[in-house]
């Protein structure tokens, strides 16, 4: 229990640090992002004093009182009030973010867990059958796959399965004609559209889990408790799963938390290629249009999501390792 509380404290501290980093980032940059943003916004019409204040609180104003801005900024974060986007004028930034968020969370979340489970199982098998083709194939394949750029796989799949093969839609999260409702046909449509992005993330992230688990398990296979379990005549499957793999999954889980950021980053590129309306695609649009308020809000949202996911992994670790319970 103290373990969970300590991790929770750590989460809050890290969240605060991430929010603060987000505050300083635009202020450390050359030029004035706030002025640039207001200038862009004024192309859409007159900018109200309130909007100007909101943007300045978020992006900084030269010579302003930093502490005052910081307090104002924290208020913004807590109330999720990030002003208006000029790319999608007059949509509110917070609305845009909240609309896009579920697409990414569901897509990346499900695929990542799936990739972790499949990759871990293959890694276990590779380590157990070390030196055979069942080891060589996945490790070589895995290291090759993990070196593939996300967007390249996305482009290739899109080209061959989308444009050439016409097997999957080439863009969007649902058919333009589909009516959003809780029905089998609509969910099917969603899955149909998410298939290629999901496959891309799966292919590129699988290699890392395979290699990580294989190496961790080769280590535990050399541990004394595995030798002793063999000396006691336990069945091979028990030794492999309950002794070697069960211990090897702990370091792999730590790696999972740290690699999550990489997967989320990769999904931005994937969403951009597929025009999938998640956080990544939105971020790409914000970046291209230099929509700083939207960009800052998105970056904060991505960071917070990853931190929370990391916290959940930590808690799972605590459940799996009795040594943290003491």
Residues in 19-78 at the binding interface with other proteins, rule: CB under 8 A: 21, 25-26, 29-31, 33
> Taking the complex as a whole, how short is the minimal distance between the CB of residue 215 and other proteins, in angstroms?
6
* 79 lines the binding site for other proteins (CB under 8 A): no
What stretch of H or E contains 229? helix 224-231
> Taking the complex as a whole, how short is the minimal distance between the CB of residue 148 and other proteins, in angstroms?
5
Contact with other proteins (CB under 8 A) among 39, 71, 137, 140: 140
Burial string for 228-255 (b: 16+ CB within 10 Å, else e) reads: ebeeeeeeeeebbeebbbebbbbbbbbb
Contact with other proteins (CB under 8 A) among 44, 75, 265, 316: 265
Q: Which is nearer to other proteins, 106 or 178 (CB)?
A: 106
Q: From 60-68, 70-78, 79-87, 162-170, give the range in contact with other proteins by CB under 8 A.
A: 162-170
> Taking the complex as a whole, how short is the minimal distance between the CB of residue 245 and other proteins, in angstroms?
11
* 14 lines the binding site for other proteins (CB under 8 A): yes
Residues 87-116 that bind other proteins (CB under 8 A): none
Distances (CA, A) of 270 to 10, 174, 201, 263, 323: 31, 16, 8, 10, 39
* 13 lines the binding site for other proteins (CB under 8 A): yes
> Taking the complex as a whole, how short is the minimal distance between the CB of residue 115 and other proteins, in angstroms?
17
> Taking the complex as a whole, how short is the minimal distance between the CB of residue 174 and other proteins, in angstroms?
21
Beta bridge partners of residue 92, listed in sequence order: 84
- Cα angle at 211 between 250 and 203, to 5 degrees? 110
CB contact set of 86 (below 8 Å; sequence gap of 6+)? 37, 40, 41, 43, 44, 289, 291
- Count of beta carbons in the 10 Å neighbourhood of residue 181: 8
C-alpha closest to that of 249 among 205, 224, 214, 222: 214
| Distance between CA atoms of residues 112 and 162, nearest Å | 23
* 143 lines the binding site for other proteins (CB under 8 A): yes
Residues 212-231 that bind other proteins (CB under 8 A): 215, 218-219, 221-225, 227-231
What stretch of H or E contains 284? helix 279-288
Q: Which is nearer to other proteins, 130 or 181 (CB)?
A: 130
Contact with other proteins (CB under 8 A) among 137, 144, 175, 185: 144
Contact with other proteins (CB under 8 A) among 1, 43, 49, 163: 163
| Distance between CA atoms of residues 173 and 161, nearest Å | 16
Q: Which is nearer to other proteins, 21 or 71 (CB)?
A: 21
Q: Cis before residue 225, ω within 30 degrees of 0?
A: no
Beta bridge partners of residue 84, listed in sequence order: 92
| Token representation of residue 296 | 């800052």
Number of residues that bind other proteins (CB under 8 A): 91
User: Would you say 118 and 206 are in contact if contact means Cβ atoms under 8 Å apart?
Assistant: yes
Residues 271-310 that bind other proteins (CB under 8 A): 272-273, 283-284, 287-288, 290, 292, 295-296, 298-299, 302-303, 306-307, 310
> Taking the complex as a whole, how short is the minimal distance between the CB of residue 114 and other proteins, in angstroms?
20
* 128 lines the binding site for other proteins (CB under 8 A): yes
| Distance between CA atoms of residues 196 and 167, nearest Å | 10
Q: Which is nearer to other proteins, 187 or 308 (CB)?
A: 308
Q: Which is nearer to other proteins, 186 or 321 (CB)?
A: 321
Residues 166-195 that bind other proteins (CB under 8 A): 170
């Amino acid at each position: 229990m103290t373990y969970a509380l300590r991790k929770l404290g750590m989460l809050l501290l890290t969240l605060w640090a991430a929010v603060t980093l987000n505050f300083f980032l635009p202020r450390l940059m050359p030029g004035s992002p706030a002025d640039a943003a207001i200038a862009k916004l004024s192309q859409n019409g007159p900018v109200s004093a309130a909007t100007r204040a909101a943007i300045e609180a978020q992006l900084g104003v030269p010579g302003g009182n930093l502490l005052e801005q910081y307090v104002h900024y924290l208020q913004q974060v807590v109330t999720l009030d990030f002003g208006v986007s000029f790319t999608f004028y007059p949509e509110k930034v917070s609305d845009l973010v909240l609309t896009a968020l579920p697409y990414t969370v569901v897509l990346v979340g499900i695929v990542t867990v799936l990739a972790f489970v499949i990759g871990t199982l293959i890694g276990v098998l590779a380590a157990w059958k070390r030196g055979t083709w069942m080891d060589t194939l996945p490790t070589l394949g895995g290291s090759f796959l993990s070196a593939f750029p996300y967007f390249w796989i996305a482009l290739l799949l899109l080209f061959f399965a989308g444009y050439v093969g016409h097997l999957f839609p080439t863009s969007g999260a649902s058919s333009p004609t589909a009516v959003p409702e809780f029905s089998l046909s609509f969910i099917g449509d969603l899955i149909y559209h998410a298939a290629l992005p999901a496959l891309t993330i799966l292919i590129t992230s699988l290699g890392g889990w395979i290699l990580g688990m294989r190496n961790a398990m080769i280590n535990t296979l050399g541990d004394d408790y595995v030798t002793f379990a063999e000396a006691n005549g336990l069945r091979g499957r028990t030794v492999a799963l309950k002794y070697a793999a069960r211990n090897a999954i702990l370091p792999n889980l730590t790696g999972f938390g740290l690699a999550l950021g990489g997967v989320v980053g990769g999904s931005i590129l994937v969403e951009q290629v597929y025009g999938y309306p998640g956080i990544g695609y939105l971020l790409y649009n914000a970046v291209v249009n230099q929509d700083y308020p939207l960009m800052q809000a998105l970056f904060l949202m991505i960071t917070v999501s990853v931190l929370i996911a990391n916290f959940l992994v930590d808690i799972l670790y605590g459940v799996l390792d009795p040594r943290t319970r003491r």
